[in-house]
């Protein structure tokens, strides 16, 4: 099915696993790495999101691959570019965010990625430190290196223009400002998702014109979500880093077999050669995958308990012996209100999608009308999906 020889040296694996493409060429970057020189590289992170999913970790894992080999790795938070808002893959403009929200998101972000990031091996920077003090003369100087036509050729802009929507001038500044990060930090390499390729190439051009030196661009693949579409918080198909062990394990087990290989390759360090019999034995491989990813974020004991929980509640269709309680006032409530109070961590879109699929039950009966009101007496069992159970406790 899938076979790969052991790498000849660490740099072979560095530019193979979790890598979509290297620009201008993989051979050029490999030559630089094989020279023995330690390079400076970074990835930029959007401080507007407070909750991260597994897709966000692909670039982080690649950065840590470099860090463990002694390269200088920078995690860059876009506290300056956030004032503009990244228009990548967006059909509308973005709302501005306060500094207080940014600070809260960065702290939450660090907490969520701590299980897979060794902060002693990386440096954290914020691009607001150099972008905010830029003068008008500085900005004009940066902009003089990139043509306006080039900026308006980006796909999201042309799509919005064709639809008759507005592209605001400040949005066209985003690639310039993000690109200037490469110049300000004088880097050899930038890492990002495939959706960031346009912005990263602008940075490559600015580095060449303003510093007279090359910068490589490495894109990492995007991951698919639980519904087979691109994992995104707007679609409700995410496996979140702060999911409970049971939810994380169960969501991975719900994936189509066709996604086992990509998750195995992108989200674990499990040997790829172990998948040689994937076609004949997908279930056991998926269980190993689910337990490994759950272990990364919750530890081996919780991962083992989650595997046992899945076996009993999904495969044997048992109600768990111990069900987490949630408090609710006595009286009338809608099903939607109950689900929101039950600490499910689900968005409204996720709740509506599950209800439409018959995936939400109250005392064993499927719920279809989320706005229906009724009295809660206490002791009722809410089931969301195949794995999440909550017991109502009336205060």
Q: Could you tell me the domains of the chain?
A: 10-220 (3.40.50.620), 245-315 (1.10.240.10), 324-394 (3.10.290.10)
Mean pLDDT of the chain: 85
More confident residue, 41 or 366: 41
Res. 9: pLDDT tops 60: yes
pLDDT of residue 226: 85
Please report, rounded to a whole number, the percentage of residues in the chain having pLDDT higher than 70: 90
Q: What is the mean pLDDT of residues 228-239?
A: 82
Specify the range with the lowest mean pLDDT, choosing from 188-192, 199-203, 233-237, 369-373: 233-237
- Strands 189-193, 216-220: parallel, antiparallel or unpaired by DSSP? parallel
Read off the pLDDT of residues 269-318 as tens digits, 9 standing for 90 and up. 999 999 988 888 888 999 999 999 999 999 999 999 999 888 877 766 66
CA angle 23/156/142 to nearest 5° reads 60
Q: What is the mean pLDDT of residues 162-177?
A: 80
Instruction: Give 232's pLDDT tier (boundaries 50, 70, 90).
Output: confident
Res. 18: pLDDT tops 80: yes
Q: What is the mean pLDDT of residues 207-212?
A: 95
Specify the range with the lowest mean pLDDT, choosing from 185-194, 254-263, 310-319, 332-341: 310-319
The size of the chain, in residues, is 395
With b meaning 16 or more CB within 10 Å and e meaning fewer, what string describes 343-358? Answer: ebebbeebbebbbeee
pLDDT of residue 20: 95
Res. 353: pLDDT tops 90: no
Q: What is the mean pLDDT of residues 164-176?
A: 79
pTM of the complete model beyond 0.85: no
Res. 7: pLDDT tops 90: no
d(CA 252, CA 244) in angstroms, rounded, equals: 12
Q: What is the mean pLDDT of residues 32-54?
A: 91
Under DSSP, is residue 40 helix (H, G, I), strand (E, B) or coil?
Answer: strand
| Residue 122, both tokens | 């990386």
| Residue 391, both tokens | 């017991």
Q: Can you tell me which residue has the tokens 């907490």? A: 111
Read off the pLDDT of residues 373-391 as tens digits, 9 standing for 90 and up. 877 766 777 888 776 788 7
Instruction: Give 8's pLDDT tier (boundaries 50, 70, 90).
Output: low
pLDDT of residue 263: 96
Contact criterion met (CB below 8 Å) for 269 and 277? no
């Amino acid at each position: 099915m899938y076979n790969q020889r052991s790498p000849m040296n660490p740099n072979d694996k560095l530019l193979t696993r979790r890598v979509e493409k290297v620009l201008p060429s993989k051979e050029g970057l490999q030559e630089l790495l094989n020279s023995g020189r330690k390079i400076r590289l970074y990835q930029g992170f959007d401080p507007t999101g407070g909750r991260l999913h597994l897709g966000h970790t692909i670039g982080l894992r690649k950065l840590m691959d470099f860090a463990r080999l002694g390269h200088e790795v920078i995690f860059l938070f876009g506290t300056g570019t956030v004032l503009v808002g990244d228009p990548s893959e967006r059909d509308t403009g973005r709302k501005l965010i306060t500094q207080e929200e940014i600070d809260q998101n960065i702290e939450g972000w660090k907490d969520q990625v701590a299980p897979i990031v060794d902060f002693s091996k990386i440096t954290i920077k914020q691009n607001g430190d150099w972008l905010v003090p830029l003068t008008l003369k500085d900005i004009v100087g940066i902009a003089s290196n990139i043509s306006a036509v080039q900026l308006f050729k980006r796909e999201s802009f042309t799509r919005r223009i064709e639809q008759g929507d507005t592209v605001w001038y400040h949005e066209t500044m985003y690639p310039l400002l993000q690109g200037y990060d490469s110049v300000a930090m004088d880097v050899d390499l930038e890492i990002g998702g495939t959706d960031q390729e346009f912005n990263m190439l602008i940075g490559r051009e600015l580095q060449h014109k303003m510093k007279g030196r090359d910068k490589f661009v490495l894109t990492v693949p995007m991951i698919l979500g639980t519904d087979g579409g691109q994992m995104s918080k707007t679609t409700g198909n995410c496996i979140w880093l702060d999911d409970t062990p049971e939810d994380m394990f169960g969501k991975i087990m719900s994936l189509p077999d066709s996604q086992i290989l990509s998750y195995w390759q992108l989200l674990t360090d499990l040997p790829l050669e172990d998948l040689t019999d994937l076609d004949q034995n997908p279930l056991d491989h998926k269980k190993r995958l689910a337990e490994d990813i759950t272990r990364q974020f919750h530890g081996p004991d919780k991962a083992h308990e989650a595997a046992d929980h899945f076996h009993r509640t999904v495969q044997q269709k048992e109600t768990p012996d111990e069900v987490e309680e949630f408090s609710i006032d006595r009286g009338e409530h809608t099903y939607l209100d109950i689900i929101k109070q039950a600490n499910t961590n689900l968005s409204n879109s996720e709740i509506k999608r599950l209800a439409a699929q018959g995936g939400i039950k109250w005392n064993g009966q499927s719920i279809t009308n989320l706005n229906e009101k009724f009295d809660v007496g206490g002791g009722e069992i809410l089931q969301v999906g195949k794995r999440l159970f909550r017991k109502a406790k009336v205060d």
